[in-house]
A and B are shown apart, each in its own frame.
Chain A
């Protein structure tokens, strides 16, 4: 086995401050949504439905904030980190 490759594999991947900062955006947003849901549980109609119509059940702000955070983390971030690494490697 090539020792050089092994050492490359074992070295922890160095994440730049930029990568760490952009990685935190999604979780922080989702956390804000969770805190909001705990502080104002009555804004989540699904917890206690009493004959509300479609819109009251579909649009629940704290859940939307959590969803946005998760969407950013799982849909946008991975490609962005790859491009950030590729850009850093090319410099």
Chain B
């Protein structure tokens, strides 16, 4: 009953797509309007925490390598921490915009986790390419939450933050267990799926 790894990526992609759309909608209508209903205010922090929580079963059930387990464990911890901080910020328990550094750290650790646990080169096969791409995307996109520390009302930073999740959703949907990437696939990768 354990799903194949590619299906797990597609499910996470779906979650990221919902999240990206909601964050983008918040940018369009403004935070004040978005937070007029409590459930909407807690959606992003709650989902960030839930994604962190869901990374634990990924760590436990997909024991490809020690590195894979450690990367997903660190990733789960930092996302849960960032989700908790965001919850406290929305609730008003925390006030300083510098707490946004938690989500900056989550982006950096998530990106590093992607890069570290992918031990093959970019063109080994598609999932290798996507792990490298998502890793560097997250590391680069950490600039958006960091910018929100400095300028909490910046629309550009908020839009960049939202679009990052949409881009990650596209990357996650492109994932396959074994498939060529731009015509490249290593002979060591095994037979490609359809």
Give A contacts to B, CB under 8 Å: 18, 21-22, 25-26, 29, 42, 54-56, 59, 61, 64-65, 68, 71-72, 76-77, 79-80, 83-84, 86-87
CB atoms of B17 and A83 under 8 A apart? no
Specify which of B1, B10, B36 is in contact with A83 (CB 8 Å cutoff). Answer: B36
Contact partner, A22, options B4, B11, B29, B32, Cβ 8 Å? B29
B3 touches A59 (CB 8 A): yes
A18 in contact with B17 given A55-B7, A80-B33 (CB within 8 Å): no
Does B24 count as interface, using CB distance less than 8 angstroms? yes
Contact of A18 among B10, B18, B22, B29 (CB under 8 A): B29
B32: A residues at CB distance < 8 A: 87
A42 and B193 alpha carbons, distance in the complex (Å): 12
Question: Which residues from chain B contact A68 at a C-beta distance below 8 Å?
Answer: 14, 17-18, 21
List residues of chain A with CB within 8 A of the CB of B17. 29, 64-65, 68
A-B pair count, CB < 8 Å, reads 67
Asked whether A61 lies within 8 Å of B22 as measured between CB atoms, the reply is no
Cβ-closest chain B residue relative to A21: B28
Give the CA-CA distance A56 to B176 in the complex, in Å.
13
Cα-based distance from A72 to B40 in the complex (angstroms): 12
Chain A: CB-nearest residue to B35: A83
Query: Are A71 and B36 neighbours in the complex by a CB distance under 8 Å?
Result: no
Q: Answer yes or no: B34 CB below 8 A from chain A CBs.
A: yes
B residues in contact with A79, CB < 8 Å: 37, 40
In the complex formed, the residue of B with least CB distance to A22 is B28
Q: In the complex where A55-B3, A61-B10 touch, is A29 in contact with B29 (Cβ < 8 A)?
A: no
| B3 proximity list for chain A (CB < 8 A) | 55, 59
